[in-house]
Amino acid sequence: MGKYIDIVKASGETFAAYLAEPEQGSGPGLVLLQEIFGVNDYMRETAELYAREGYVVLVPDLFWRSEQRVELGYDDDGVARGLQLRDALDNDTAIDDIADTVRTLRAFDNQAGGVGIVGYCMGGLLSYLSAVRLDIDCAVSYYGVGVHEHLDEAKNLQVPTAFHLAELDAFCPEPARTAIRAAFTDNDLVQIYDYDGVDHAFGTTGRDVFDPVAADLAYARTLAVLRNTIGPRYDLNAIWDNHVYHEFVTRDVPATMATMIDEPYVNHIPTLTGGVGQKDLSRFYAYHFVPTNPSDLKSITLSRTVGANRIVEEQLLCFTHDREMDWLLPGIPPTGKYVEIPLVAIVTIEGDKLCNEHIYWDQAGVLVQIGLLEPTGLPVAGIEQARKLVDKTLPSNELMAKWSTSEGKPIS
């Protein structure tokens, strides 16, 4: 858990900031800038999340001159009070406090590397203003309110910066978003991301407008800016390879679980198998995954794409169905049939540990190969899926009865 520390200004005045530190002790610096609701549970939880990603995080209490360490809820009273506090806050004064926070962070013994800023709502504006006025290394603005009113300073932006903009955001409507896009058209350091169908504060857990899909995508993009600019840089390939090694080679469940965060989850999409949390996932691996994998099972990596916090791997999974496979063919007695299936794993990594896995394959293709699904007249294929995956010269469109009818026709 984090703690509050005092930031000391040149005047001798002090204000609080929430500090969250990485387990490994040191890392790049990150300043998180609050919404109008103060340094509340959401901001502290977000600080802890970034600490797990390897950052030394400070969240300054920007409302301290009006009310120290204010924490507001998302009800009408919280919104009303937050707007009052925001109206009382002078942007230039807030930037001065942020500069003191950055200075304090850079002086920490465990702050190694650069310093970035991520801000939300009110903090989204202040993160942008920090990027154009302060000595920082990168910035990310989530649905910043009022950014379009300060685009005269856009020419001063010389560090990597990302803007997350919500389609339904009444506080940053389309004319404002258009102005922001236009201001940075020629700046290669700026990335602007639009999120369709979501509202202001779509990334804030606990709010009705929270959208987990958009929030997760924005978070991955934010990490990409931070990782590429200030680090830390983890070897995601090695982390994933180590996990797979213990899953399939040593078949050591405790060692497998040690590669994952405290609350991981695995979801095999076609069969809804896996688990959430160390307890259930350990049970799943120990009794329903590792011992049910055939002795000849092997996975062949065909491609791997590595992002800021994700790996997408395309595999060919090969095995003889010599035992009941709870995770892949639950309830189906062994058929002795040989199976080859294309499989895609989408793996999220938090810091240096696996967070979750989404595993996809075509279950119909498996059922065809073990003889439980007759493919005649159905648009499904068996082992042909695997064979065409590795040999592109094999014919296409053989399941399309109408394919021959288009031969020789003009292409308009």
Residue 388, CB half-sphere, CA atoms under 13 Å: how many? 10
pTM above 0.95, yes or no: no
Domain locations along the chain: 3-230, 236-403
Q: What are phi and psi of 265, to 5 degrees?
A: -150, 150
Q: What is the CATH number of domain 3-230?
A: 3.40.50.1820
Nearest CA to 156 out of 178, 136, 177, 142 is that of: 136
**Domain 236-403, CATH among 3.10.450.50, 3.40.250.10, 3.40.50.150, 3.40.50.300:** 3.10.450.50
- The 353-361 sheet, strands edge to edge: 273-276, 260-268, 353-361, 338-350, 310-320, 298-306
One-letter amino acid for residue 178 of the chain: T
The neighbouring-strand residues paired with 274 are 267
Sequential pLDDT tens for the chain (412 residues)? 799 999 999 999 999 999 999 998 899 999 999 999 999 999 999 999 999 999 999 999 999 999 999 999 999 999 999 999 999 999 999 999 999 999 999 999 999 989 999 999 999 999 999 999 999 999 999 999 999 999 999 999 999 999 999 999 999 999 999 999 999 999 999 999 999 999 999 999 999 999 999 999 999 999 999 999 999 999 999 999 999 999 999 999 999 999 999 999 999 999 999 999 999 999 999 999 999 999 999 999 999 999 999 999 999 999 999 999 999 999 999 999 999 999 999 999 999 999 999 999 999 999 999 999 999 999 999 999 999 999 999 999 999 999 999 999 999 8
Contact 358, 342 (CB under 8 A): no
Helix (H, G, I), strand (E, B) or coil at 326: coil
Burial 56-70 (b: 16+ CB within 10 A, else e): bbbbbbbbbbeeeeb
Tell me how far apart the terminal alpha carbons of the chain are, to the nearest angstrom: 63
Residues labelled catalytic: 121, 169, 200
